[in-house]
Structure 1
Amino acid sequence: MNTGLRITVFAAALAATFGTAYGVGSGIGEISPKADSAAHDQHTDTSHGEHGSAAQASAALPGGLQISEAGYTLDLRTPVVEAGRTTELRFAVLKDASGRALTDYQQEHTKELHLIIASRDLTTFRHLHPSRAADGTWSTPVTLPEAGAYRVFADFTPRGGDGLTLGADLTATGAYAPAPLPAPSPTATVDGYEVRLDGELTPARASEVTLTVTRQGRPVRDLQPYLGAYGHLVALRSGDLAYLHVHPNGEPGDGKTQPGPDISFTATAPSAGTYRLFLDFKHDGAVHTAAFTVRTDAAAKQPDVSGTESTAPEETRSGHAH
């Protein structure tokens, strides 16, 4: 991991993003399997387009909004699961030119692929590391606690290529009750830890944010490396779930980065709006996920931040799993 690694995301108009056509109403209802895979419904043709290639047009979009990009397609082979029941989620990354599954990946932060699953209401979050079979098929057990519409993000780098984040839609069946986005607050509590977010998040401009981890009022100064870093931050834009994945400034063993209590990140929000931030950190041998809501606009001097409490992974609405 490079010191001071930054996520650079191009601003995109909300009108260019995907809508939420997932058969989910605003009230309580039943979510049922669809005849067609949502992944194929969202397929984007990258072979041609007006006034330049579609690949050039896609470069203006944040990650995760497209199922196909740069010659690769996310093939989600388990587009429907049952809420509350553990299901083997299967998928592959296909090479558009041949239709075959990609098998040659470059490791990024100790893994060939990072899988993120988030609910459309941004109250459920999973960061998973699936296993890959020899034929290129990935699989991982997953349990989603609530029925509704979800987005699956595959974050990977083909060997010799550039990093990509592809997204596809996932449905969890059952009685659906949408949850409101948590209200703003500068702190989040998780598993007995308190995490505070300080700093500015500014649209279309790189800015630094710092997350400070304490437990029982004392700074945590012995964070453990997790996937090659003291913390990992995923940001998702409310509405279209545009994806940002940013790693800390500095890394373990570089001679200057301390193992807490502060973890700093440099990030660029693609536009004004509301974002949900998920921080993964490791302490005492366990990975914890703190969740925040950030509202930002071009005139804001400092973002409003909201935190929620999560407990055991895979059993709550916001969690981390391996």
Structure 2
Amino acid sequence: MEHHSNHDGHDDSRNSTRGMDAVGHAVPAGLSLAANGLRLVPSETRFDPGERTNWSFRIVEDGSVVTDFETAHGQRAHLIVVRRDLTRFQHRHPELDSDGTWRLERLAFPDPGVYRAFVDVVVDGRATTLGYDLFASGVDDVEPRPGSSRRGAADGYEVELLADGVEAGENTELAFEVLTEDGAVARLDRYLGALGHLVALREGDLAYLHVHPEETAAESGRAAFRVRFPTPGRYRLFLQTKPAGTLITTRFDVRVEA
């Protein structure tokens, strides 16, 4: 099977959104290690917490290792790692070898527990998210989580989620406003070709929604997303923005009604 790849480092929205509708992954993703004929094969699944490890994985189709991937949001692969209690988050971009091996240096799991690794790729114009559980040995301490939270803070910035009630199955705009410590609106720089990056995970099975914002002005301090939550329930949102050149990650909790 011939695979086509865009290696120029630019985001080609025509290629990166095939298989998705206008609001991102309409169908929950990341629930399986195999989807769309692709299968995720990691080199290791067990780790010592706190130790940095060089990790690798491959993506296989019909018994053969896939070597060609298309660019989506400025990268040929996005790796999201989240502890299953939704309290730890990292977003990395592994490097691809010519033999189809994806390599990531210094991957670390800060605490014991079960982590879910999500791998976002585009092959033959189809966006696919594959998921795999990774284990950091030891006794984990599950942290409490609020039912709903609309404010977050990181590195001297405060971020507020501006949204009314959220209903399942409806296209909903989620706008986030980034402010400095003195309450001034922050200017947002682009990150991965946009003014923000949002990951939403459904509590219970960690169904994965991965969307990017609508176009907003950098001076507004706002990143707006249009997303459709597939079912009622609680979701945790991880927002990445880049005010004044500083990449920050904030988290929010929303309850989606029927």
TM-score (norm 2): 0.87
Contact 2:189–2:218 under 8 Å retained in 1: no
Structure 1 residue 217 displacement after superposition = 3.2
Query: 1:88 is matched with which residue?
Result: 54
Query: 1:204 is matched with which residue?
Result: 169
Query: 1:64 is matched with which residue?
Result: 30
TM-score (norm 1): 0.71
Residue 247 of structure 2: SS of its match in structure 1? strand
Q: In structure 2, what is the Cα distance between the partners aligned to 1:8 and 1:184? A: 23
Q: For the structure 1 residues 257 and 9, does the alpha-carbon distance in structure 2 shift closer, same or farther, using more than 3 Å as the test?
A: same
Which structure 1 residue ranges, 5 or more long, are not aligned? 11-61, 251-255, 299-322
CA RMSD of aligned residues (A): 1.8
Q: In structure 2, what is the Cα distance between the partners aligned to 1:127 and 1:292? A: 16
Q: For the structure 1 residues 155 and 72, does the alpha-carbon distance in structure 2 shift closer, same or farther, using more than 3 Å as the test?
A: same
Q: For the structure 1 residues 8 and 152, does the alpha-carbon distance in structure 2 shift closer, same or farther, using more than 3 Å as the test?
A: closer
Which structure 2 residue ranges, 5 or more long, are not aligned? 1-10, 15-20
Choose the corresponding residue for 1:270, options 230, 234, 237.
230
Structure 1 residue 269 displacement after superposition = 0.6
Choose the corresponding residue for 1:223, options 179, 188, 191.
188
Residue 54 of structure 2: SS of its match in structure 1? strand
- Paired amino acid for 2:53: T
Contact 1:230–1:259 under 8 Å retained in 2: no
1:191 and 2:155 aligned: yes
Structure 1 residue 259 displacement after superposition = 4.2
Structure 1 residue 177 displacement after superposition = 1.6
- Paired amino acid for 1:148: G
Q: In structure 1, what is the Cα distance between the partners aligned to 2:96 and 2:23? A: 28
Q: For the structure 1 residues 260 and 77, does the alpha-carbon distance in structure 2 shift closer, same or farther, using more than 3 Å as the test?
A: farther
Q: In structure 1, what is the Cα distance between the partners aligned to 2:229 and 2:250? A: 19
Choose the corresponding residue for 1:131, options 77, 95, 100.
95
Structure 1 residue 221 displacement after superposition = 4.0
Q: In structure 2, what is the Cα distance between the partners aligned to 1:93 and 1:259? A: 40
Structure 1 residue 202 displacement after superposition = 2.0
Choose the corresponding residue for 1:181, options 145, 168, 172.
145
Q: In structure 2, what is the Cα distance between the partners aligned to 1:246 and 1:170? A: 24
**Could you report, residue by residue, the CA deviation over 1:124-156 in whole angstroms, capped at 9, with x for unpaired residues?**
011111111111111212111110111100011
Query: 1:243 is matched with which residue?
Result: 208
Residue 6 of structure 1: SS of its match in structure 2? coil
Which is strand-richer, 1 or 2? 2
Contact 1:201–1:209 under 8 Å retained in 2: no
Of all paired residues, the percent bearing the same amino acid is 38
Is the radius of gyration larger for structure 1 or structure 2?
Answer: 1
Q: In structure 2, what is the Cα distance between the partners aligned to 1:228 and 1:5? A: 17
**Could you report, residue by residue, the CA deviation over 1:53-82 in whole angstroms, capped at 9, with x for unpaired residues?**
xxxxxxxxx100011111100111111111
Structure 1 residue 230 displacement after superposition = 0.6
Contact 2:149–2:254 under 8 Å retained in 1: no
Query: 1:75 is matched with which residue?
Result: 41
Structure 1 residue 282 displacement after superposition = 1.0
Contact 1:201–1:267 under 8 Å retained in 2: no
Structure 1 residue 183 displacement after superposition = 4.9
Contact 1:235–1:276 under 8 Å retained in 2: yes
- Paired amino acid for 1:68: A
Q: For the structure 1 residues 75 and 259, does the alpha-carbon distance in structure 2 shift closer, same or farther, using more than 3 Å as the test?
A: farther
Structure 1 residue 100 displacement after superposition = 2.2
Contact 1:154–1:165 under 8 Å retained in 2: yes
Residue 252 of structure 2: SS of its match in structure 1? strand
Residue 118 of structure 1: SS of its match in structure 2? strand
Query: 1:260 is matched with which residue?
Result: 220
Contact 1:91–1:137 under 8 Å retained in 2: yes
Q: In structure 1, what is the Cα distance between the partners aligned to 2:188 and 2:254? A: 24
Q: For the structure 1 residues 260 and 87, does the alpha-carbon distance in structure 2 shift closer, same or farther, using more than 3 Å as the test?
A: farther
**Could you report, residue by residue, the CA deviation over 1:280-307 in whole angstroms, capped at 9, with x for unpaired residues?**
0112332110111111212xxxxxxxxx
